[in-house]
Amino acid sequence: MLTLAFNIQPGKSKPTTITVPDDYSTIQEAINSTQSGDMIFVHTGTYYEHVIIDKSISLIGEDKHNTIIYGNLTGHVINVTANDVKIAGFTIRRSYGIYLGKYSTNNNISCNIINECKIVLDGSSNNIISRNNITNSEYGIILSHASDNIISLNNIENGDNCGIVLREHLSSRNLILQNNITNNGGGIELWDDGGKNTISGNNIMNNTGWGIRLSDSEDNIFYDNKETHHTLLTHIIGTVSHS
């Protein structure tokens, strides 16, 4: 007797679009219902939430000026633990901001307004952080143990401390390109980073402290950066390469 065995694999469902608040009243409920590859479209309004994104999805706001996720000064407004996540079109307000954690890679955080909070890459690599407006935060963007990221075309202003910080010895091979950093305590700081970062085409203006500060930083490349009001490179400890 000949026995035939068929291994039938279920077909992968097509990506779908879920709308908030039409399909679900909260962003987190919508995320919980998605599969990887889906998109969540969020209509204008204020959402009092702390969101965890643990799937490879796109989270898109209808209008970045009027689609607001409000953190009420506690926790991360958006905590990304998955890979290949896209976040665009939101105002993120009053908390620790957007957090990309360890093992989260290949994300795109673009075209958002970040107010009274920041973007943190903590062990997260191969991300694009671009065209965000970050205001009134102690720090704008922090990279810690984060490599191979592109940080470009962001506007960071009116901060208490530093616009962009690269710290810890594994933050290397990052591209910091064409950012505008104005009216902060300082511009860009590289502190005990891993080297081989490229800092190019940034406009650093009217900061009360330094333009670019290096501490225990080596083998980085700087060119075509513009700075007003203070010396471009101050408090240098270590070595720096220019081209």
| Phi, psi of 101, deg, nearest 5 | -90, 180
Q: What single-letter DSSP state applies at residue 202?
A: -
What pLDDT digit, counting tens, does each position of 139-149 carry? 999 999 999 99
Same domain? For 126 and 227 the reply is yes
Name residue 64's amino acid: K
Same domain? For 140 and 75 the reply is no
Same domain? For 41 and 158 the reply is no
Same domain? For 129 and 170 the reply is yes
C-alpha distances (whole Å) from 85 to each of 80, 126, 136, 154, 231 are 8, 12, 26, 19, 38
What's the chain's length in residues?
A: 243
Alpha-carbon torsion, ordered 101, 51, 93, 204, to 10 deg: 20
Question: Is it the case that residue 11 has pLDDT exceeding 70?
Answer: no
What pLDDT is recorded for position 229? 58
Residue 135, domain member (yes or no) = yes
Q: How confident is the model at residue 232 (pLDDT cuts 50, 70, 90)?
A: very low
Same domain? For 177 and 220 the reply is yes
Same domain? For 139 and 231 the reply is yes
Same domain? For 65 and 133 the reply is no
Q: What is the largest CA-CA distance in the chain?
A: 88
Range of the domain at 211: 118-243
Same domain? For 134 and 214 the reply is yes
In the chain, how many domains are there? 2
Q: What is the mean pLDDT of residues 193-219?
A: 87
Same domain? For 61 and 135 the reply is no
214, 238 contact by CB (below 8 A)? yes
